[in-house]
C-alpha cells in the first residue's frame, strides 16, 4: 500500500536519570536535547493535495511536547519511576499525539491519518523511533 507522509519537527530540552547499570554515566541526572520529528501518513492526499495542515501538525506537536520541555522527567508524576529512555519517550509522545489526533485536532484530516512515526534524535549519531497504525 502506497502512502503519502508529512513530517514536522520541534525539539525539547529535558533532564532525567536512567538509574540502572546498563546506562553507565547516564545513571545520574543529566540533560538531553532531543530533536523530535513526527511523520503523519495517509493513503491519499486530501482535496487540497496535502497530507495534513502543516500549521495544525506543528501546533499539536508543540502542545504535546510542552509538558516535557525544560522539565526534569524524574519529577513528573506521569513519568515518575519510569526509565525515560529515548525509545520510551518516542512511544510516550506517540500516545499523546494519537490522543490529539483522536480528538480531531488536525481537523477533517484527523480521520484520514493511518499511521504515525515519532523520531527522537539524541545527537547527530543516534536516534530512535516508534511507529504504528492509528
- Residue 47 DSSP SS3: coil
Q: Domain limits of the chain?
A: 4-50+71-82+89-133
Contact 48, 42 (CB under 8 A): no
Which string of b and e fits 14-36 if b means at least 16 CB within 10 Å?
bebbbeeeeeeeeeeeeebebeb
At residue 1, does pLDDT exceed 80?
no
**pLDDT digits 0-9 by tens, 21-75:** 999 999 999 999 999 999 999 999 999 999 999 999 999 999 999 999 999 999 9
Task: Return the CATH architecture of domain 4-50+71-82+89-133.
Answer: 2-Layer Sandwich (3.30)
What values do phi and psi take at 97, rounded to 5?
-65, -40
At residue 126, does pLDDT exceed 80?
yes
Section 14-18 average pLDDT: 98
Q: What is the pLDDT of residue 62?
A: 98
Q: Is residue 62 packed enough to be buried (19+ CB in 10 Å), middle (13-18) or exposed (0-12)?
A: middle
What is the residue-averaged pLDDT of the chain? 96
- What is the chain's length? 134
Grid coordinates 525539547 are at which residue? 12
- Which residues share a beta bridge with 40? 6, 116
Q: What is the pLDDT of residue 11?
A: 98
**pLDDT digits 0-9 by tens, 79-113:** 999 999 999 999 999 999 999 999 999 998 899 99
Grid coordinates 502506497 are at which residue? 2
At residue 132, does pLDDT exceed 80?
yes
Q: What is the pLDDT of residue 125?
A: 96
- Residue 49 DSSP SS3: coil
Q: What is the pLDDT of residue 2?
A: 87
Amino acid at each position: 500500500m502506497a502512502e503519502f507522509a508529512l513530517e514536522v519537527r520541534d525539539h525539547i530540552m529535558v533532564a532525567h536519570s536512567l538509574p540502572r547499570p546498563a546506562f553507565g554515566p547516564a545513571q545520574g541526572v543529566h540533560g538531553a536535547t532531543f530533536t523530535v520529528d513526527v511523520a503523519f501518513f495517509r493513503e491519499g492526499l486530501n482535496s487540497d493535495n496535502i497530507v495534513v495542515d502543516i500549521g495544525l501538525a506543528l501546533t499539536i506537536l508543540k502542545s504535546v511536547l510542552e509538558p516535557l520541555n525544560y522539565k526534569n522527567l524524574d519529577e513528573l508524576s506521569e513519568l515518575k519511576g519510569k526509565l525515560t529512555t529515548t525509545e520510551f519517550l518516542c512511544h510516550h509522545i506517540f500516545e499523546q499525539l494519537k490522543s490529539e489526533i483522536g480528538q480531531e485536532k488536525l481537523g477533517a484530516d484527523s480521520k484520514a491519518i493511518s499511521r504515525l512515526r515519532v523520531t527522537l534524535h539524541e545527537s547527530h549519531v543516534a536516534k530512535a523511533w516508534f511507529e504504528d497504525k492509528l
